[in-house]
Structure 1
Amino acid sequence: MKNVTDSFVSLGHWPPAGSFGFNTDIFATNLINLSVVLGVLIFFGKGVLSDLLDNRKKRILDTIRNSDELREGAIEQLEKARARLQKVETEADQFRTNGYSEIEQKKENLINSTYKILEQLENNKNETIQFEQQRAINQVRQQVFQQALQRALGDLNSCLDTELHLRTISANIGLFGVMKEIID
């Protein structure tokens, strides 16, 4: 341990007279030297330290102000975004409602147009059926008329003899003569 103490003592020796130096021997320094050093540090360091602290305080306050401004800007943007979202949701609801009502309207129109087409097809079917019925009735009438005419001609030919035939011809010629006189 003596060697350690000797090494401290040799480091802490006083410099020769006329030179300036620090006494590194902590035990040998006195309170006055420490007071002088602290006084010098406080006197000269006070301005620098005060400036450093003021600059630091100013930067902190500027950072807080900037943070507050950014926060207020973010809140304002958030409110704007919420308003835009609300507007978009309202428009989407309107589009949805309008879309559904438009779809319902188109469905109603399609049903109505389909009903009208079916009604028209039904009318055309009924007209076609009536036309075909009338045509069939006319064909039956023609066939009945032809059969009746053929029967009548057959009956006339069987009933008419030559004398009755000549009288019918003379009566018809007489009728034509009267009609000619009336016309002239």
Structure 2
Amino acid sequence: MIETLLFLAEAHSEVEGGFGLNLDILDTNLINLTLLVGILFYYGKPLLGNILAERRAKIVEQIEAVEQKQKQAEITLAEEKKKLEEAQKTAVKIRQDAEVNAQKARETILAQGEKEVERLKEMAGKDLSSEQEKAIAQLRERVVALALEKARSSMGNMLNDDAQRKLIDNSIAKLGG
């Protein structure tokens, strides 16, 4: 590169007779542009190639990472859908079991209620019979008490002193002969 510049400088000085300033814009721009393109091509190609290769590798790596994340997300989504379906099935089973248990509990409670009603009826019947027997016994006692009282009062009127002696004498006579 430096050799090329020196060569061009020498060639230029031989043509004009020395080292000087070339004011021809077309001639100098073409040379400068050719030099610049040559330098960039010679030194820039590996550098630019490395930069582009690194950038391309990063992009490929990022794309692969995104694709991996997408695959993982799809797998996770499928697993979660499966879990959701299982949870829904479990919820349906729990609801059905709860309905069955509620029906059984209802039937058990109704059966116990019926037994309790029958027991209460039986107890009420026994209590009623017991109360009737008590009432009948009280009535009998009252009737007997009233009958005894009436008998005493009527005996008290019928048995005066003479009647009592006659009754006693008759009783003695029957017993003693």
Partner of 2:19: 17
Equivalenced residues, count: 157
Partner of 2:4: none
RMSD: 3.6
Partner of 2:70: 71
Partner of 1:106: 105
Aligned-residue identity in percent: 26
Distance 1:166 1:97, change over 3 A: farther
Q: Deviations over 1:74-132 (max 9, x none)?
A: 11111222222222222223333323333333333333323322222221111111111
Partner of 1:135: 134
Supply the AA of the counterpart residue of 1:92: A
Partner of 1:121: 120
Deviation at 1:25, TM superposition (A): 7.9
TM-score (norm 2): 0.66
TM-score (norm 1): 0.64
Distance in 1 of aligned mates of 2:79 and 2:172? 114
Task: Structure 1: state its 5+ residue gaps.
Answer: 1-13, 175-184
Partner of 1:89: 88
Partner of 1:180: none
Distance 1:153 1:111, change over 3 A: same
Partner of 1:57: 56
Q: Deviations over 1:30-75 (max 9, x none)?
A: 5354234213311221111111111111111100100011111111
Distance in 2 of aligned mates of 1:54 and 1:85? 46
Distance in 2 of aligned mates of 1:52 and 1:170? 162
Task: Structure 2: state its 5+ residue gaps.
Answer: 1-11, 13-17
